[in-house]
Structure formats: structure tokens, C-alpha cells
Amino acid sequence: MQLTDQAAALQAEAFRLLDQLDLATAFPGYGPPQLIGSARSGLLVLRDLDVMFDAPGATTSGVLAGLAALAERCELLSADVRDERGDRRPTPRPTDERFYAVLQVGEWKVDLTFWIHEVDRPQVADAVRLQRISGEQREAILRLKHECPGYPELIGGTDIYAAVLEHGVRA
């Protein structure tokens, strides 16, 4: 199977999982779930789903209650939940406070980010922009993701996108 066909099959599988999770119902007090990352752009080589919420009212108990609801309707194998507010936020910017959950749902890794502050975040626009790249660029990105021994732990998708789109790397 070609990498583009494999990516399309994984994306279809990701959409089925997203429907099964029904995140809007599990987390009703938060903004609508927004699919981001490779599942949105169609550049999947791994079973990895990224979703974010604008969730200014998010609380530890609310996030945990939503995860409990997910556990009742899917094969939730594990969950790592982090409160990244205050001095635990991922960057020095005060608007980067969030709750972050990494789930194992069957064969899928599912990252859920609940942003406490509603500000423009580039993740959705970046994924949409990547939907419009050329076939040659798409093939190069998928090949690099597939063949790179450090992907995604040491070399992230954004590094590969930059290499292909900004520096013309093809192999």
C-alpha cells in the first residue's frame, strides 16, 4: 500500500474513532472539540489523534468526569492527565495554561488539550494549510515520517513540515 493510501485509511479510522468518542458529549461545558494535527491534515503514519478545546471553565474534576464518561463507551486502556496551569504551564506565556490528557484508546494514542484561555491558536489553521500542499510535498512528508527513526519522539511533525515546505527536502 502506498503511503498516501495508508494515510487516507488511517485518517478514515481516526474519524470513526472521533465519532465513537463523541467528545462534545463527554466534555459538554467546553468549546467544541477541534481536530488538529496529522489526522486533520491527512498526514498520518501513526495512530495518533490530536484534539483541542477552548475551555475557560475547565476544572480538574470536569476533565476527570469527561474521561470517566469516555471510559464507559470505549476501550480506554490508560490515561495520563496533567494540570498545566500556573507554574506548570508548558511555556512562559500566561495564556498557555491547560489541562492535557494523553489517552490510549485501543491502538490509538489520543491527545486532548483543554486550553484555559481563549486566544488564537495556530494549530487548526496549520492543519488546514497542510491539507492544500502539493502531492509531491505530501509524499515527501509521509515518507520522512515513515522512515525517520526519531519520529515522533525526537523529530516532530513540525520539523518535517519545515524541512519539506521551507527547505525543499524530498528524501
pLDDT in tens, 82-119: 999 999 999 999 999 999 999 999 999 999 999 999 99
How far apart, in whole angstroms, are the C-alpha atoms of residue 25 and residue 18? Answer: 12
Task: From residue 102, give the alpha-carbon distance in Å to each of 114, 162, 164.
Answer: 12, 25, 28
Note the pLDDT tens digit of each residue in 43-68.
Answer: 999 999 999 999 999 999 999 999 99
Share of the chain above pLDDT 70, in %: 99
CATH T-level topology, domain 3-119: Beta Polymerase; domain 2 (3.30.460)
Collapse the DSSP code of 118 into the 3-class scheme (helix H, G, I; strand E, B; otherwise coil) and give the result.
Answer: coil
Residue among 104, 11, 90, 44 at smallest CA distance from 112: 104
Query: Which residues in the chain are classed under CATH 3.30.460.10?
Result: 3-119
How far apart, in whole angstroms, are the C-alpha atoms of residue 118 and residue 151? Answer: 30
Residue type present at position 21: L
The three cell numbers locating residue 2: 502506498
For residue 162, give the H/E element and its range: helix 157-167
Is it the case that residue 75 has pLDDT exceeding 90? no
DSSP 139-150: HHHHHHHHH-TT
Q: Whole-model pTM?
A: 0.94
User: What's the whole-number average pLDDT of the chain?
Assistant: 95
Collapse the DSSP code of 93 into the 3-class scheme (helix H, G, I; strand E, B; otherwise coil) and give the result.
Answer: coil
Is it the case that residue 1 has pLDDT exceeding 70? no
CB 74 within 8 A of CB 106: yes
- Which pLDDT score is estimated for 171? 75
